[in-house]
Amino acid sequence: MIDASTGFYKSLRYDIGKFWGPVDLGIHLAYKHNSLNFGTGLLAGSIFPGSNRMIFTGISPNWHGFYISSMGGAGLVFDNLGINLLSIKGKSDRLSVLYLNRIHGEEIQVELVPVDAEDIWEKGRGGVYAMMEHTFELFGEKYTNSPRILAVGPAAMYSDFGAICSAPIKKNKITPVDTWAGRGGLGSKLLQEHGIVAVIYGGTFVDEDFRDRKVADEWFKDRYDKKLAAKDLEATKKYRYDPNFNTGGTFGVNFANNAEYMTAFNYRSIYWDTPYRVELHKKFVINHYLKQFNEETILPKMQKNCGEPCVAVCKKMKDEFKKDYEPYQTMGPLCGIFDQRAAEKLNGKADSMGFDAISLGGVLAWLMDCMDEGLIEPEELGIKSKPNWDVNHFDLEETSMHNADLGIALIDAMLGDDRKIDLLLGARKFARGLAKSKSKRVLDLFVYSAFARQGWMVPNQYWTPGVLAPMGIMGKYYNDYGRKFFEPRELGQLSAERMKKELILDNLGICRFHRAWAEDIMPDIVENLFGDKAGFLKSIDLTASRINSRNSSVFWESERNIDYVMTFFKKKYEEDQSDEVLNAWLKRFEDDKHQAAFDFWYEIHKGIHESLRDFPV
């Protein structure tokens, strides 16, 4: 535990059984100290694939509740410090870099070094990348093995949804394979509440990690009739290469598979007829946006891992650009961008500035929609032009680049002391201010989950009611996000169960891309290694109930949230007109969508709360 206001630190020990990992200990520390906590699970450094995820926890300035964010691979180097968790409280009086190094069995070296963050952000690639380079120049030579660096950008200073970025360091160079703890704005917390703009860590401490592959293979053969490596290879097919779609990664598989469910132009596509969505998807996505990705990334096998050995090689690259589905969806089709060069330009700007890319894309698409409808003039946002969202006169390259350049101008207007778009207290508060001065329609075009008085979150990019469920944490996958229709009470129950499964992974520091086996067998592995499966699972239930006990979800404030659900019902009705429960809900929405939305939302809420009680009935 480090006090950033003084530089003093101390080591604390917690018994396994009282706490099991970075989430249940994180929630304890977050409410006790308002600290930002990050660390690894008990299996970091082990032979289990994906077990080196870095888990961040704290009270989110963006969500306004306890939040969990995670980063691929960054836990492998952290394990060399010989600790499981770092907890930062207090605030440095000057923006600083935090240096952590441990040489063999010696005490961890801790140093806070003040830096001129705004000057550094202007150099080289800019933003978070410049901060990582500067930090490496300051401290890199002090490490025997390659360290790892966490960094924030200007978004952490001027908004509530700044992210934390890192990248593996190989052969004394920072690689372009950046990894992110994006959701929840914990980068904003690191800077604004603790005065830290970068953390560099590493060491040579060696502890005992589970490395017995023969024993692990026996566990997997007993359960799956396959060795660990074979099962993991099967489970990560989507993220590597899926022959069913002739593509791979979240970008490839999701864009190949979402023709009827495509969301574009700030979700306007939910109002289109299905044949029209499919036609535009084929023309704009399959034949161009996805085609570029397959030719430039999949065919030449431009893929990397996050910093730990892993067969998923989920980091799909094109030069310095990493292609993930959700950022290239929100700052792609959702903003009216269907060309890789344009999407790279906008995503590159967003990443360098250090924003949570998913939330930023949702905000940009919303502002573009408001301008296209004439609700806001460009000059009021500090820019000069409107988007081109006319699908009948859309040049895939030129129009996409126009919209990308507009997005970049909007980002610039969000940063600096004279910014026209002030997101320091969040996009929801900004939207409410615009709605009061202009029209409620401005707020009605913004798709987000609302939490407490100011908390907000742009949903994950799947057209399904579950991504707008009133869960205690949203923006991750602590909810059902499949395309199947469920009556709302059941949807709440399924979301609660999904949350518990995800907590198993997060509290053990395991990447969810391995969830096909990890959430199933990991409790048994905990039993084999630590002798208390029942205690571990009880801690998961308790942690879920603790998060839900502070669930301050607010009913949908935006008309488009309601339409998002109602049009999903219409889509499912096209597919199956015999579902009586679906038909009944659709009729209720058609008769009075606002009353029906209230009823539907609260029924989900009931399912969540009855599933996440300390003492289930």
| Tens-place pLDDT, residues 103-130 | 988 999 999 999 999 999 999 999 999 9
pLDDT at residue number 614: 79
251 vs 322: CA distance, rounded Å: 10
Look at residue 326 in the predicted model and tell me its pLDDT. Answer: 98
The mean pLDDT of 597-602, rounded to a whole number, is 98
The residues facing 97 across adjacent strands are 113, 198
Query: Among 68, 122, 49, 185, which residue's Cα sits nearest to residue 458?
Result: 185
At residue 506, the pLDDT reads 98
Instruction: State the average pLDDT for the chain.
Output: 97
- Report, as an integer, the average pLDDT of 172-192: 97
Q: Which amino acid is at 567?
A: T
Q: How many Cβ atoms are within 10 Å of 4's Cβ, its own excluded?
A: 23
Q: How far out from the chain centre does Cα 615 lie?
A: 31
Each residue's pLDDT tens digit, 12-26: 999 999 999 999 999
Closest CA to 301 of 286, 289, 318, 288: 318
Q: What's the pTM?
A: 0.97
102: part of which helix (H) or strand (E)? strand 96-102
pLDDT tens-place string over residues 302-329 = 999 998 889 999 999 999 999 999 999 9
501-551 pLDDT tens trace: 999 999 999 999 999 999 999 999 999 999 999 999 999 999 999 999 999
Instruction: Express each pLDDT in 41-54 by its tens digit.
Output: 999 999 999 999 99
- Whole-angstrom distance, CA of residue 596 vs CA of residue 436: 26
HSE, side-chain direction, 13 A CA sphere, residue 535: 13
Region of 49 please: left (phi>0), alpha (psi -120 to 50) or beta.
beta
- 456 bridge partner residues: 450
Could you tell me the sign of the dihedral formed by the alpha carbons of 494, 268, 572, 256, in that order? negative
CB atoms within 10 A of CB 576: 10
Distance CA 544, CA 121 (A): 38
Please tell me the distance from the alpha carbon of residue 351 to that of residue 392, in angstroms, as a whole number: 31
What is the rounded CA–CA span in Å between residue 573 and residue 580?
10
Three-state DSSP at 566 gives helix
Residue with tokens 């970025």: 165
Residues, the chain, total?
617
**Which domains occur in the chain, in start order?**
2-203 (3.60.9.10), 236-434 (1.10.569.10), 488-611 (no CATH)
Band of pLDDT at residue 617, cut at 50, 70 and 90: low
Q: What are the pLDDT digits (tens) for 542-579?
A: 999 999 999 999 999 999 999 999 999 999 999 999 99
Residue 380, pLDDT above cutoff 70: yes
- The CB-side HSE value for 469 (13 A sphere, CA atoms) comes to 37
The residues near 299 (Cβ < 8 Å, ≥ 6 apart) are none
Over the stretch 196-227, which tens digit does the pLDDT of each residue have? 999 999 999 988 899 999 999 999 999 999 99
Q: Answer yes or no: are the C-beta atoms of 326 and 357 closer than 8 Å.
A: yes
Cα–Cα distance between 195 and 435 in angstroms, integer? 33
> What pLDDT shows up at residue 433?
97
- How far is residue 406's CA from residue 349's CA, in Å, rounded to a whole number? 12
Percent over 90 (pLDDT), the chain: 98
Cβ proximity of 420 and 413 under 8 Å: yes
Closest CA to 247 of 175, 347, 314: 314
Q: Are 44 and 80 in contact (CB under 8 A)?
A: no
Specify the pLDDT at position 616: 59
How confident is the model at residue 100, as a pLDDT? Answer: 98
- Residue 229 to residue 49: CA distance in whole angstroms: 9
- As to burial, measured by CB atoms within 10 angstroms (0-12 exposed, 13-18 middle, 19+ buried), residue 472 is buried
148 Cβ neighbours under 8 A, 6+ residues apart: 74, 77, 78, 166, 168, 169, 200, 201, 202, 307
